[in-house]
Structure 1
Amino acid sequence: MSDNVLANLEDYQAIYQRACERKGGPGAVESLLSDPLTDGEVALLGDDRFLAEFSKKVFQSGFVWRVVRNKWPEFERLFFEFNLDKVLLMPDEMLEQRAQDPAIIRNYKKVRTIRDNATLIDSVRREHGSFAQFIANWPATDIIGLWAYLKKYGARLGGNTGPYALRAMGKDTFLLSRDVTGYFSQRNIISGGVNSKRSLNAIQQAFNQLQQQSGRSMQALSLLIAISVGDNLFS
């Protein structure tokens, strides 16, 4: 990203002040912000929980989130609480059977991703001790690199699916909600598609600069930008 583009970015205090003006002061703003888990806390999470969250977000993509949440206990039951070793042993015939069960969302292609992403997690844990440790060690200053990794090696974890799953698991990440992407477009920090390599690099560098100025997490900064502009459609 060129210095000219970075120059279009407001400093942290300007964004924070506008959020305060819109929301009624620092107290109101702080009540809307939240922080992720620490790296140490993320490292202690079970790899089965990452598989569960990836799977949940895959099924929620393009579907009514509430319906998936309501059916989730049955997903947990039918897929062995997302125990990696058990899921990896599930043959195609069993997956097909599960995909026909009315207790869950009957979508065979998405059901297949459960075993596919178990394979990803298993390969990573063999090299790094645990998938959770691998995620914890990945720096937030290159979170788009982690997004790209999940998109490349995972199943249906591209777009917002991987990032939203990471946020749900407590990994520090910004999110490309409509308000956040709208902000960067209006400031001419990005142009064209938000998911282009150039746009993602520009947004990452912008967040890195804001973090250096504020000392806040990417998660809090993402939320702050969202409530400082637009319709407050933030996550």
Structure 2
Amino acid sequence: MSDFDIIRRRAEQRKGGADALNAMLPAMPDHEALRALPDDRILSQMTRRIFYSGFVHKVIDNKWPGFEEAFDGFDPAALNIAPDEYWHDLTSDDRIVRNGAKIMSVRANAAFVRELANEAGSAGAFFADWPPEDHIGLLEVLTKRGSRLSGGTGQYFLRGIGRDCFIMTRDVLACLRDAGVPLSPSGTGKKDQQLIQQTFNRWAQETGLPLAYLSRICGLSIDAPRE
């Protein structure tokens, strides 16, 4: 068996069999649907993920209709020309969570989404057409050009818009180490990321599975040590 066959069998044993494991897998990535996703929905998903960080998700979800209203439906063109006073007023707007730094990230990311749309026709097309074998490179784009989209925030944003991707959770890193991938203790260095990408690329070629499935199965196959 290949190393991923071993990982999948272990995940099946831990989760109650093949059918139970399959039920835990995310939706099949649909890059055609992603390509058609309007820019305002891209910015909305970015913002939701940014506000999730450090907050109970249910709090953000319950207030989300207010977010949509306060941020004018997340229309990047409108937000790009909104005056300073608009953004200042949002810091006291009780329809949203009044975190100044995160509110200003929406302003920066509206410009970012517009840049991607100018480059690729739409932000959805930019994300859909990025080569899957260079997922690490796409995460770097989010980190360098976006605002507050590094780490897990950027990874879960991509998963949320339907982009096929792996997510580097602690359990996934533990799975990779168990499979013999020589990651550093943090697992976050540039060499680590290259090794992770190479491993997922190989598994994708061997199995024909999308990165999202490989990542979830890997994470379900093992529990990382908890400090």
Fold conserved between structures, TM > 0.5? yes
Q: Give the secondary-structure state (helix, strand or coil) at the position aligned to 1:104.
A: coil
User: How far did 1:126 drift?
Assistant: 1.2
Between the aligned residues of both structures, percent identity stands at 36
Q: Which residue does 2:207 correspond to in 1?
A: 214
Q: Answer whether contact 1:36 1:167 (CA < 8 A) is retained.
A: no
Q: Which residue does 1:72 correspond to in 2?
A: 64
The AA in structure 1 aligned to 2:191 is R
Larger mean Cα displacement after TM superposition, 24-33 or 187-196: 187-196
Q: Give the secondary-structure state (helix, strand or coil) at the position aligned to 1:48.
A: helix
Q: Distance in 1 between matches of 2:223 and 2:115?
A: 41
The alignment covers a number of residue pairs equal to 223
Q: Answer whether contact 1:42 1:169 (CA < 8 A) is retained.
A: yes
Q: What 5-or-longer segments of structure 1 have no aligned partner? A: 1-9
Which 4+ runs in 1 deviate beyond 3 A? 185-188
Q: Which residue does 2:3 correspond to in 1?
A: 11
User: How far did 1:37 drift?
Assistant: 2.8
Q: Answer whether contact 2:175 2:221 (CA < 8 A) is retained.
A: no
Q: Distance in 2 between matches of 1:63 and 1:34?
A: 23
Deviations 1:3-57 (A, max 9, x none): xxxxxxx622111111122122211111111344322111011111110111111
User: How far did 1:188 drift?
Assistant: 4.5
Q: Which residue does 2:189 correspond to in 1?
A: 196
Q: 1:92 aligns with which of 84, 89, 94?
A: 84
Larger mean Cα displacement after TM superposition, 187-196 or 51-60: 187-196
The AA in structure 2 aligned to 1:120 is F
Q: Answer whether contact 1:128 1:134 (CA < 8 A) is retained.
A: yes
Q: Distance in 1 between matches of 2:72 and 2:78?
A: 7
Q: Distance in 2 between matches of 1:137 and 1:167?
A: 15
Q: Which residue does 2:223 correspond to in 1?
A: 230
Alignment of 1:1-235 (within 5 A): 11-186=3-178, 187-230=180-223
So what's the TM-score if we normalise by structure 1?
0.90
User: How far did 1:132 drift?
Assistant: 0.6
Q: Give the secondary-structure state (helix, strand or coil) at the position aligned to 1:160.
A: helix
User: How far did 1:140 drift?
Assistant: 1.6
Q: Distance in 1 between matches of 2:71 and 2:107?
A: 10
Q: Distance in 2 between matches of 1:22 and 1:29?
A: 9
Q: Distance in 1 between matches of 2:27 and 2:56?
A: 26
Deviations 1:168-195 (A, max 9, x none): 1110011111211222234353113222
Q: Distance in 1 between matches of 2:120 and 2:95?
A: 35
Q: Give the secondary-structure state (helix, strand or coil) at the position aligned to 2:185.
A: coil
Deviations 1:82-113 (A, max 9, x none): 01111111112111101211221111111011
Q: What 5-or-longer segments of structure 2 have no aligned partner? A: none
Q: Answer whether contact 1:125 1:131 (CA < 8 A) is retained.
A: yes
Q: Distance in 1 between matches of 2:42 and 2:181?
A: 35
**In the superposition, relative to structure 1, how do residues 188 and 211 fare at CA in structure 2: closer, same or farther (>3 Å)?**
closer
